[in-house]
Amino acid sequence: MTTVATANIPTELLRTLIAVVDLRSFTKAAQMLGITQPAVSAQIKRLQVLLGVEVFDKSAPGVLLTAQGELVVNYARRMLAINDQIVQLAMPRAAHPPLRIGIPVLYGASRLPKALAAFRAQAPDIRYRVRGDASDNLLRDLRQGQLDLAVALTISAPVDARRQWMEDVVWVRAPDRMPEAGRPVSLIAIDESGLLRRLAVSTLKQASRDFDIIFTASGTIGLIAAVAAGLGITLLPRCEVPKDLEPWDDAPLPKPLDIYCGIYLREGVDCDLLADLADAIADTLRPQPSVIAHPRHAAGAANSPHESDMRDHG
């Protein structure tokens, strides 16, 4: 019987291919992988020699896959996912890589640690790496394989989230402070790229209300302190309003759109533990129905910005 030799494809070549495709750049892929750009190009060339096909369309600008390249990428993702699962099974439990979790700044900071602690009691060998960032950045890093799980806020309804729900967004002020009538609205924000800041600005612009962003905090503590001192108001999900501040439900301002919160898993991940963790986080973060059902004020609803106005910025 004649044996037909089969080429073996090193997984590092497939990982380089996926990095180039996801980042749409040989240079960015090299930076992420910690190698030089010529090394990335050499690995892609070697992969193409092994496969006998061109994976990238050289006649098109940028990084564009050929039809055969699309098939290769789809199979590569599946192969790498299976490879990683096998490696994790073979590793000692304590050596499992930490789960990389992303959560929006100002959202769930007081409740997420409780969810992780409760889940860790059931799986004590699991480790976490949690970071806060803007939702757009978290979703981008999830797509690029730099996060395993992301909690993200969006204006549009999620299409690929494992769990999702609506968050009631409210204006927030200090309990004993009333902004002066007839003056521009003083806004306090935490992140120039944050969704809540964009939503506040869009809501006021749609209503033709004058405003000034007078304070951009570097973190949660600074934002809460600035609002509590009466410097201005901010936007928060109702469930995130701290005890020393209050929702301004009767504010003479348009009611902002409610937003979606979704919990997303990295593509290609087939891990029951990660899915269970996503469900545990959702059960902790998701507001009670009575909170979600808070009615919109008639005047605010009439002046609320259309979803399409925010989608272009989100």
- Residue 306 scores a pLDDT above 50: no
Reference 276, options 121, 96, 110; nearest CA is: 121
Task: Give the C-alpha separation, 88 to 108, whole Å.
Answer: 30
- pLDDT value at residue 71: 92
**247-305 residue pLDDT tens:** 998 888 889 888 999 999 988 766 777 888 888 888 888 866 543 333 333 333 333 33
Q: Note the pTM of the prediction, 2 decimals.
A: 0.60
- Comparing CA positions, the residue from 142, 141, 134 lying closest to residue 103 is 134
pLDDT digits (tens, 9 = 90+) for 46-96: 999 999 999 998 887 888 899 999 999 999 988 888 887 777 676 655 456
What pLDDT, on the 0 to 100 scale, is given for residue 25?
87
Comparing C-alpha atoms, which of 249, 253, 260, 250 is closest to residue 286?
260
Q: Are 179 and 233 in contact (CB under 8 A)?
A: yes
> Confidence class of residue 137 from pLDDT cuts 50, 70 and 90?
confident
Which domains, and CATH codes, for the chain? 11-90 (1.10.10.10), 94-165+260-291 (3.40.190.10), 169-255+300-311 (3.40.190.10)
Q: Is the pLDDT of residue 166 over 50?
A: yes
The pLDDT value recorded for residue 215 is 87
- The answer to whether residues 154 and 161 touch, using CB atoms and an 8 Å cutoff, is no
d(CA 179, CA 231): 9
Separation of alpha carbons 289 and 274, rounded Å: 26
